């Protein structure tokens, strides 16, 4: 990876793109320290600590690189845009008009991207209103009132809209996926906090050198496992028969259908976390906590991140959404029909239904392995935090995102260098 970055730096055009990308990331980090008026950052941090590690608020704080806990203008990070993109993907499959629009090429994709921007602003405004109500109940607002509430809501929404614009600028003038790189920068910036946590635990006597070494070894093994699983794929061989059109012969080549083990990425984890944290988030809007007692207090206690029910339900939801999202994104029948139209077939299978059934069977087995891995990666930090009583700032979800973005960015740099070094047939 470092060799790829070094080689890219030597190319003037790529060097400009790398510098522009770094500049946008610096702007993002600077904005993470600009406070929002009328909000107490101490009360904001105390509210996150009360909800516990691996809660939705802690998830927001990790994605925003600490901006949420510091009550800054980028507190909501880019999560409304991520949610809007996921919703638009689902609606594209469910609504025929959007599906036709997605097949119209570049113009269709531009219109869908425009709809995603509008939906991001709407979701950002709704999330900002909910966050403001939570802050009022937590007494984190220094001067509650209409003017202060309107200022806070507009500031949070504008911060998300600015991050969305920042990500799109990286897409156009930089290298890599802008939105993913902003999330990556937020996650990586939490590294020093984790180091301080480990150092504080060692100074307090809760950890010794052996415990710190064990945590570092486990972290390296988790990263290695994520890299291996992220690059793993099941290749289904495909053979194309020869066709003679005029004086030219087409086909007769061998290729494959790559089925990635983690084709759904971290989207199942985001879905599962949003659903399992929704009751607690909704209750916080009305000032309800575990100490409130009654049915709501009992429900919040069961769904607290340190309970066994939370981990089991979290794991099951990840399995479900992995299968659900994979089924939406991958259509074996359509793939089999396209292969049949182009004279392709899987060796030993007849085109049509036998081919689609075989692809479905292989896809199910691959999805099971990927879903179990996602579930274990997501639940492992919770179990580790419960066993060691140490809050892990960077969990399995963050590692998945960070590794995926790093690998994707390096691949884009390699493809850019390949384009510039390729001389073509005329030379």
- 206 against 391, higher pLDDT: 206
**Lookup: tokens for 146:** 């209409």
Structural contact between residues 58 and 52, judged by C-beta atoms closer than 8 angstroms: yes
Rounded distance between C-alpha atoms, residue 348 and residue 333, angstroms: 18
Spell out the domains of the chain, with CATH numbers in brackets: 1-190 (1.10.3370.10)
Identify which of 52-56, 317-321, 380-384 has the greatest average pLDDT. Answer: 317-321
Average pLDDT, the chain: 82
pLDDT of 246 reads: 65
- 376 against 195, higher pLDDT: 376
* 424, pLDDT greater than 50: no
* 292, pLDDT greater than 80: no
DSSP string, 86-107: HHHHHHHHH-HHHHHHHTSTHH
pLDDT of 425 reads: 40
* pLDDT, average across residues 386-399: 63
Tens-place pLDDT, residues 202-215: 787 777 888 788 87
* pLDDT, average across residues 295-310: 76
Query: pLDDT tier at 68 (50, 70, 90 boundaries)?
Result: confident
Query: pLDDT tier at 358 (50, 70, 90 boundaries)?
Result: very high
- 243 against 355, higher pLDDT: 355
Burial of 355 (0-12, 13-18, 19+ CB in 10 A): buried
* 179, pLDDT greater than 90: no
- 94 against 372, higher pLDDT: 372
pLDDT of 387 reads: 64
Structural contact between residues 327 and 371, judged by C-beta atoms closer than 8 angstroms: no
**Lookup: tokens for 411:** 């691949």
* pLDDT, average across residues 119-145: 86
Closest CA to 236 of 354, 362, 330, 370: 362
pLDDT of 160 reads: 93
- 294 against 142, higher pLDDT: 142
Structural contact between residues 144 and 136, judged by C-beta atoms closer than 8 angstroms: yes
What pTM value is reported for the model?
Answer: 0.80
pLDDT of 290 reads: 65
* pLDDT, average across residues 337-343: 84
Closest CA to 35 of 120, 155, 129: 155
pLDDT of 377 reads: 86
When mean pLDDT is compared across 42-46, 223-227, 372-376, the lowest value belongs to 42-46
* pLDDT, average across residues 260-287: 76
Give just the sign of the alpha carbon dihedral 61, 63, 65, 70.
negative
Tens-place pLDDT, residues 148-174: 999 999 999 999 999 999 999 999 999
* 98, pLDDT greater than 50: yes
Q: How far are the Cα atoms of 79, 120, 304, 314 from residue 307, in angstroms, in the given order?
A: 26, 33, 6, 11
pLDDT of 156 reads: 93
**Lookup: tokens for 167:** 């990500």
pLDDT of 427 reads: 42
pLDDT of 426 reads: 42
Structural contact between residues 276 and 311, judged by C-beta atoms closer than 8 angstroms: no
pLDDT of 389 reads: 56
Query: pLDDT tier at 19 (50, 70, 90 boundaries)?
Result: very high
* pLDDT, average across residues 275-293: 69
Rounded distance between C-alpha atoms, residue 222 and residue 228, angstroms: 10
Tens-place pLDDT, residues 233-251: 888 998 887 666 666 666 5
Query: pLDDT tier at 52 (50, 70, 90 boundaries)?
Result: low
* pLDDT, average across residues 96-113: 83
């Amino acid at each position: 990876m470092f060799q790829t970055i070094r080689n890219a730096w030597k190319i003037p055009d790529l060097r400009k793109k790398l510098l522009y990308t770094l500049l946008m990331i610096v702007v993002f980090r600077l904005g993470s320290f600009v406070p929002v008026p009328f909000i107490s950052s101490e009360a904001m941090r105390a509210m996150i600590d009360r909800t516990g590690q691996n809660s939705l608020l802690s998830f927001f704080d990790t994605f925003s690189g600490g901006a949420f806990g510091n009550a800054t203008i980028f507190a909501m990070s880019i999560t409304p845009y991520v949610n809007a993109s996921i919703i638009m993907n689902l609606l594209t499959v469910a609504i025929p008009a959007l599906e036709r629009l997605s097949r119209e090429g570049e113009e269709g994709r531009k219109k869908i991207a425009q709809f995603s921007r509008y939906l991001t602003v709407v979701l950002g405004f709704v999330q900002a209103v909910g966050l403001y109500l939570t802050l009022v109940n937590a007494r984190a607002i220094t001067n509650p009132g209409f003017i202060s509430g309107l200022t806070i809501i507009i500031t949070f929404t504008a911060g998300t809209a600015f991050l969305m614009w920042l990500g799109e600028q990286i897409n156009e003038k930089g290298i890599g996926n802008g939105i993913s790189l902003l999330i990556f920068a937020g996650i990586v910036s939490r590294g020093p906090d984790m180091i301080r946590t480990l150092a504080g635990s060692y100074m307090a006597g809760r950890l010794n050198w052996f415990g710190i070494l064990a945590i570092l070894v486990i972290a390296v093994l988790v990263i290695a496992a994520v890299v291996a699983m992220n690059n793993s794929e099941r290749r289904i061989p495909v053979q194309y028969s020869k066709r003679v059109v005029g004086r030219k012969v087409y086909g007769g080549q061998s290729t494959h259908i790559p089925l990635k083990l983690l084709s759904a990425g971290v989207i199942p984890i985001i879905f599962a976390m949003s659903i399992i944290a929704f009751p607690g988030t909704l209750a916080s809007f009305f000032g309800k906590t575990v100490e409130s007692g009654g049915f709501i207090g009992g429900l919040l206690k069961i769904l607290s991140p340190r309970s066994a029910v939370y981990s089991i339900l979290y794991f099951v939801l990840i399995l479900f959404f992995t299968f659900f999202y994979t089924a939406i994104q991958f259509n074996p029948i359509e793939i089999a029909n396209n292969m049949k139209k182009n004279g392709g077939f899987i060796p030993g299978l007849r085109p049509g239904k036998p081919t689609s059934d075989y692809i479905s069977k292989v896809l199910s087995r691959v999805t099971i392995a990927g879903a179990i891995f996602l579930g274990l990666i997501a639940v492992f930090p919770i179990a580790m935090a419960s066993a060691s009583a140490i809050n892990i700032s960077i969990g399995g979800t963050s590692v998945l995102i960070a590794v995926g973005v790093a690998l994707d960015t390096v691949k884009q740099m390699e493809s850019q260098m390949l384009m510039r070094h390729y001389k073509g047939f005329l030379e």
